[in-house]
Amino acid sequence: MNDPLKIALAGLGTVGVGTLKLLTRHAALLERRCGRPIVVAAVSARHRDRDRGVPLQDYAWYDDPVAMAADADAEVVVELIGGADGVAKDVSEAAIAAGRHVVTANKALLAHHGTALARAAEEAGVTLAYEAAVAGGIPIVKALREGLAANGVERVFGILNGTCNYILTNMRESGRQFDDVLAEAQELGYAEVDPGFDVDGVDAAHKLAILASLAFGCEINLGAVHTEGIRRVSPLDIRFAEELGFRIKLLGIAARTGAGVEQRVHPCLVPLEAPIAHIEGVFNAVVAEGDGADTIMLEGRGAGAGPTASAVGADLVDIARRRATPTFAVPAAELEAVAAAPMERHRGAYYIRFMVLDRPGVFADVAAALRDHDVSMEGVLQRGRAPGAVVPVVMTTHDAEEAGMMRALAQIEALDAVAEPPCMIRIETFSTGGAG
């Protein structure tokens, strides 16, 4: 029998305990699939005496996870602590320096330090594996890095945050405001007490930066990701979107353009006929467009103990079978420092909602501002009349440049008949295969 693959596990929160349970429950199955057992040799967490519902007496205990990464009798260190810096980074660097493979679910760590860690790992001849860091149980890393290895990928996009998708789904189904649905998501454990990491788009931006590196062979560039959240999406916009044949989703989109690699996270109107429009609740989905395979979409649970532990286990199986692949699809030393496409150069269609005083001449003033900045209207919705009252006016546009749209909106907001800042949401047109 081959020697077992010994692992040291740093972090015994929800995912860490889920990983212990999965490795125990499927020990025989994993051994059969790997040709060798996968065994936990050591663990580390902040509180040794906490009841986690799993026995820990058979594992070597370390109070210091960095010391464990350097000294434990293990071939692999599994980092499930979280955070971009601090202990998680120290654990990963110590493991690599000691010649140990690293498996992590830490998207923040990779988004900030992934390129440097990949270079260090490849120089040390060890693996840095992170299937669990992007979209939970969806095997999108392997799909991009291995399944689509023969393809030139031009665009990858998706629903990358289950909290936001849950909130938008429930706002649409119930008609309630963002704050009410957010409070419910917090009660159910789908959103943190401090939800900004999710609802402001930061979590999705971390994941998108990793996907862009995988898809395009470039260095991770989190600073180049244009990031907006969902706080300003209202039930009114959701209803208007449905009336127009769209659904609002928070998407992360990375694409090659003539100006460089475009990376953006923001709410989008997506056509109801696009499959990604029907990904609901806490589910994630990722679409990749390859020049050989055309369009693929993977859907599944993006977080939670089970899905994340499943992805950790998949990486451990690869390491146990001694299957090595460059961290970001090409050798880390060959990752390109590609130009970031400026957001102001983005071209696309737009949904705009204005709250205006219902009086003569207002529509003409709005139309003139759009015309002055080369924005062409495609359609208009206005329901009923209420002279002297504030009413919503919704417009959709043909493709326009982002910079012109922003100037037009600033000019419109300054009109005395406009009661509040305009709501602008970008329109993404996808084919029935999920891409466009």
Do 277 and 138 touch, CB atoms closer than 8 A? Answer: no
What's the CA angle centered on 28, arms 25 and 31, to 5 degrees? 120
Whole-angstrom Cα distance, residue 154 to residue 293? 12
Residue with tokens 């923001």: 266
- Cα distances (angstroms) measured from residue 400 to each of 346, 367, 404: 8, 14, 7
What's the CA angle centered on 414, arms 412 and 419, to 5 degrees? 85
Point out the catalytic residue in the list 89, 107, 142, 207: 207
Query: What one-character-per-residue DSSP string does 356-415 give?
Result: EE--TTHHHHHHHHHHHTT--EEEEE--S--TTSEEEEEEEE-SEEHHHHHHHHHHHHTS
Report the Cα 162 to chain-centroid distance in Å: 9
Whole-angstrom Cα distance, residue 312 to residue 357? 56
Do 158 and 285 touch, CB atoms closer than 8 A? Answer: yes
142 labelled catalytic: no
Three-class SS state of 163 = helix
The 3-class secondary structure across 196-263, one letter per residue, is HHHHCCHHHHHHHHHHHHHHHCECCCHHHCEECCCCCCCHHHHHHHHHCCEEEEEEEEEEEECCEEEE
Catalytic residue IDs? 207
